[in-house]
Amino acid sequence: MGRERIKLKKIEKVRARHVTSSKRRKGLIKKAKEVSVLCDADVGLITFSATGRLFEYSTSSMKMILKKYSETFTGILNIEADIEDLGRIKEEMQNNHRTLRHMDGEDLQELTMQELQEMEQKLEVGLHRIRSTKTKLRRRMLIDFTWS
């Protein structure tokens, strides 16, 4: 026969609350040990009683575990830098998208004469590379064709 399920609410009797707290804390520490052994995990457990008394359990140095935690937590909370990076990346993407539209011949009215000349030069260099690669590919195909 199983145990009766208890409703989770504050235990009114002070003595009963302290006894339950002690038993539950021991059970919690037992579970922490099990997790540590079964999963090869570093476990740190800190509890404060209703009277403010500190109870702690750690599989290794509590300082080391807290240091790991703070480093990880700080990395997670470093959102401001991430938001700045996202803003910068978004701006770069918009600039690249605008440049691609310009190279496709769209929205050229917003460019100055110098920007148009620079773009023309870049396109000529790119066109030269494309034609050069195309010529090399044709030569390879011609050589392969004559050998077979």
* 67-86 residue pLDDT tens: 888 877 776 666 677 777 88
Instruction: Record the tokens describing residue 124, joined without a space.
Output: 């000529």
Q: What is the pTM of this model?
A: 0.47
User: Given phi > 0 = left and psi -120 to 50 = alpha, else beta, which region is 56?
Assistant: beta
Structural domain boundaries of the chain? 14-76, 80-147
Dist CA 30 CA 57 (whole Å):
10
* 35-73 residue pLDDT tens: 999 999 999 999 998 888 899 999 888 889 888 888 777
Residues 6 or more apart whose Cβ sits within 8 Å of residue 17: 10, 11, 50
Give 107 or 77, the one with higher predicted confidence. 107
- The fold of the 14-76 domain, in CATH, is SRF-like (3.40.1810)
